[in-house]
Structure formats: structure tokens, C-alpha cells
Chains A and B, each alone.
Chain A
């Protein structure tokens, strides 16, 4: 038994860890008396990848490329391959992952099971939109190949399927041509939500990537830093990578707290206001700003942290966001890690995928027990009323009614579950 945690570090419980080895027959390794769940890099925040007292199947050994077609950009690889390794290998060859989340330290299997999204949703949708084939191994010994044109129902269940439809063993992803590793970016401070939405809407046509940092203490007015980017034609060589910093220990209390948050946010806003304007930026700092601080999640102290990421439809987006910001300001808790962005007008391929047309707000909160719970109850009420949903990849606590309202296809999804697979999240939200 070893202790396993996820990115939020909210729990540290014993699991029996099975390191999957593709050369030994994967089915035999996932069959057993007790159910398990696939575990990649543990970058999801809550309990989607956890199974306390039970089995986790580590996919870190399934890290091989299988084939690459330089005509189509189709890359076939095992499920444990890191997005980082794909980017670093293929960008110099003129290919890039069309969709990437805010960290590249995630596996292909995890990216599919959470149907992750990036800053370019309005242009390229979510990760599942670029997956051609998924190979599933089921605990009953069967294998399923699925994709947009083969077994499309299995595909729809598996993309964003929380790892519950079978073990994703390998996948084929279509990469996108790219000139080089650079992005033309522009940083624009904004002083109100109205300004944010104007910027977001006005950028969709000409900019591939849009995202914003928001000051979670600014209240319903909302100030922040809007960032947009589009691939540059610059092809200058990769600079030498800076050595990553590391959060070497877990501080006894959260470094993000009432005393530090306000000065930090003010400083961050002012610094970026001074740096506003256009700039050429390498893809790594733009896409993955936090990857250069290893184990930054430790900064929230021994009790860990929650991330609350919701999406609400665009019609009510501005009001709901203002309401949530007001609630957060009143609660006096929060973090400087706060992101506001719009999703494009496109539905996700997965039955249980998170992205939907609307606006998404993501905020970290150090775990302060009752204070945090009380705030989340208020935020839940706003999401419920706005007919929004909460991102499963980030969740460790959402009430079941919010889940069921947010993911209306959950009953249909159950039919595709592998009975030999179960996680703490599936037991919490799906009942088994």
C-alpha cells in the first residue's frame, strides 16, 4: 500500500498501486476481485483519480509512441505519454497539440478522460475533438476501439468519461501544423466585467487563444488582465530552458491567506498593467505558466486546496460571474490563481464533457473547512440557478443534485461503465 494524493492534496490515503506494464498483457493486470481506477500524473484536483483503500493503475509506464504519420499529423501513442513530451518532440518538427490545458504534465489518457480544454476553445474545441481513435481494455477481457466514426457512442462516453468506461491503453490524436514555438501575444488590463466580455468577444475572430486573470477580491466590478495570443510565424530556435524552481516543502499554513492575497493581487495587477502591450512569447510560459514551479500546489499548506471551476451559459454569464465574485469577496477567501474565460459556441463530443457555450470561472481556495464549505454552497446556488455545471476534473465535493443537473446525460452514460472500474468520485456522484 502506498499513499496517493491528487493535485489538491486534500487527502492522503492508502491505495494499492499497480504499475501497468504493456508487455505483460494489460487485461490481466486490471482484472481482479476489487475495482480500480487509472492514475496518470495525478494532476486532476479532486477525487476523479482516487480510490482510497482500493487499487489505482498507474499508467506512467505506458509512455511509448507507436506511430506518426507526417502526412496527416496523426500521432498514435500509449495512454501514459505526457503532453509535454508530445509538444517538445513535435513542435520542432512543425506539429503541435491543437488543444492543451494549463499544464503539460498530464497524460494523454488523462486528457481524454477529463476532455480537457485550453485557451483556444472558441477555435479548436476540447481535446476530444482531435482524438481519432481510442483503444479501451475492459475488465471483462474485451477490447473496444472507438472514434468519431467507429463505435461513436463508446467514443462519446469515453471522451470526458472519468476513466470509467475501460482502461484507455492508447489513442490516435491529430496534431495541427505550426510554424514554430512562438506566439504573438497581447496583454490588456480591464477594469470591469463588461470590458472583459467586450475584449473576449472582440478577440474571437482574430486570436486563437484568449484567457484572463481576474482579481477575485475586486467584487462584482471585476478587474483583471486579459491575454490573447495567436501562433507566430517566427521560427527562431528554442531558447535554453530555465531550470524549474521547486516548492521544496509544505509550509505549516497556507501561504495564500488573508494577509497575502490582497497585496499580491494588487501587485500582480499593477505589474501587468505596466507590461501591457504586444510581445512575442514562447509557448511554454504562455500555455504553462506554473509548470516552472514544481509542486506549487504545496503552497496551500498541509490542508490542501480546492479549485472551483464552473461554466454558466453566456446569456446569464455576466450576472452570474458578478454574483460569484461578490460572494467570494464577502467570504474573504480565495487565491491569486483565478481565471475567467469564454468558451466558444460549440458542443463537446463527450457525454460528460465539461465545456459548453458560456463563460468559465476557475478559482483556487485554500481548504479552510467550514469557511470554504459555506462559500461553495453560495457558489453552487449561483451555478444551479444559472443552469451551469462544475468541472469534474477539479471537483472533490459537489453535491449530487448539481452534478445531475449539470450533466444531464449521466444516466445514459452509466450503460457504458466498466463494472470493474470505480473511483471515489464515481461512488460519490454516480453511486458506485
Chain B
């Protein structure tokens, strides 16, 4: 059996790193880690190589916001490693909502890195997988994409774009061998939320969320809320009448 081919875009994100650990613990993999920061990638790759000496772990540096370069970047990876069995698209960064409201440049950046860039990666990989009629693309969205809220609608709108894009792709690939998995983590204990945490917010453990992502992809789920309770919470939030919602400070 050949090693499973996995590509992780945004591989230095905590959730992505923990997913990678779970994958190498299960099987020998041919893993490509894509990230912005070479030294961070090297540290993570070294860790994964200790965890799975037989796996092949390679790294690729990319600028996620250079949208026009994404196609050729994905072409190059697939040329080198073949069409992947699993792609996890995990990059993103939490914009400062307050700052965004007075600085459109930050809005554009936030929408770009959290919305446009992930779906372009998904589209580029999907075309490769379509030729191969197999593979799974998992995109990390967010519960924040389920309804716009004043506290972080730049991030929420970008993740909303991801949600709708993934839905469309799911429709397109329905019944084919390609699956599109949308992951919506609730607030999770990762470096991205360090500030939330130091202010005492309750966060889900990143280990738990990563476990749900890997398990969900394996089971062919289309939508993964992690932890699961967020499915219920967000259903309520989506359906709250506006006069109630507008009174909430969330």
C-alpha cells in the first residue's frame, strides 16, 4: 500500500499541527506542510518525523495572500507529490475588528487571508482531485461564519464566504469520489486566541477539536462542528429574531 498523501495548507496553525500528529500516529504518510514561516515549518516537521520515522514530511513556503500565485503553487505540489488523498486548508488570522472599522486595508487583508485565499486553494486542489475522482478537501471555517456579529464581522464574513463556497463545491461534487468537508470550530485554545484566553474565556481544547476534524474527514462528513455543541448553539443564534439578537453583546 502506498503512503497516504496529505497536504496541509497553513500547517503552522495549531489545529493543523495537531491534525498532522494524529495522521502520522495512524499511518505512514507522505505529508506536505505549507506555511508562511520556514523556521516554524521546520520545527513542526522535525516533531512529526520523530513521531513517524517512516513518513515523508516535506515543507513548502508560500505567501497565502498572493492570490494569483496559488494556482501554480498547487500545480507544482501535485506535480511533485501526485494528487493528494487529503488536503486540509487551515490558514487564517484573527483580525482586530475595532481596528478594521477605521482601516479598510485591514478589512481587505482579513477578508483575503481568511476567505478568498482558502477557497482559491480549495478550488485549485479540487480540479486536480476531480481528474483523479478521489480525495477529500477539508476547509477550516468557523462558527463565526454562521451569523454576522458586531464583535468580529470581518472574520465572520470571510468565514461566511468559505461556508458558502464549500456548500457550492459540495453540490458540484455530490456523488463523485471527491468530498468537501467544512469544519466549524468554536473558540479553541490556540495561539490565535491567546488574548481571549488570558482574559479568562472558556475555550475548547485544541486536541479535542483536531480529533473531531480527523475523525470527521475519515467518516466522510460534510460538516463538522467542533466541539459538537456548537451545532446547537449556532442553530439558535442563526434563528434568533433580530430584535433579540440586537440586544445581545456578542
CB within 8 Å of B: which A20-44 residues: 21-23
Q: What 0/1 readout, one digit per residue, does chain B (156-197) give for beta carbons within 8 Å of chain A?
A: 000000000000000000000000000000000001001001
Q: Which of A17, A22, A23, A66 contacts B198 (CB 8 A)?
A: A17
B55 to chain A, nearest CB (A): 13
A61 to B47, CA, bound (A): 13
Contact A89 B198 (CB under 8 A): no
Which residues from chain A contact B50 at a C-beta distance below 8 Å?
65-68, 75, 77, 89
B51 interface contact, C-beta 8 A: yes
Contact B37 A67 (CB under 8 A): no
A1 interface contact, C-beta 8 A: yes
Which residues from chain A contact B197 at a C-beta distance below 8 Å?
2, 17, 19
CB within 8 Å of B: which A216-235 residues: none
Q: What 0/1 readout, one digit per residue, does chain B (43-55) give for beta carbons within 8 Å of chain A?
A: 1101100110100
Contact B191 A22 (CB under 8 A): no
Contact A1 B51 (CB under 8 A): no
Q: Give the interface size bracket for B toward A.
A: 10 to 19
A64 interface contact, C-beta 8 A: yes
B40 interface contact, C-beta 8 A: yes
Closest residue of chain A to B39 (Cβ to Cβ) is: A23
B200 interface contact, C-beta 8 A: yes
Which residues from chain B contact A18 at a C-beta distance below 8 Å?
198
A429 to chain B, nearest CB (A): 29
Contact A23 B37 (CB under 8 A): yes
A272 interface contact, C-beta 8 A: no
Contact A1 B191 (CB under 8 A): no
A16 interface contact, C-beta 8 A: yes
Q: Which of B37, B51, B191 contacts A21 (CB 8 A)?
A: B191
Interface-centre pick from B46, B47, B197, B200 (highest chain A CB count, 10 A)? B47
A21 to B14, CA, bound (A): 11
Contact A16 B198 (CB under 8 A): yes
16 contacts between A and B (CB under 8 A): A1-B198, A1-B200, A2-B198, A16-B198, A17-B197, A22-B43, A23-B40, A61-B14, A64-B43, A65-B47, A66-B47, A67-B46, A68-B50, A70-B53, A75-B50, A89-B25
6 other A-B residue contacts (CB within 8 Å) besides A19-B198, A65-B50, A67-B46: A2-B197, A19-B194, A23-B39, A23-B40, A66-B50, A89-B50
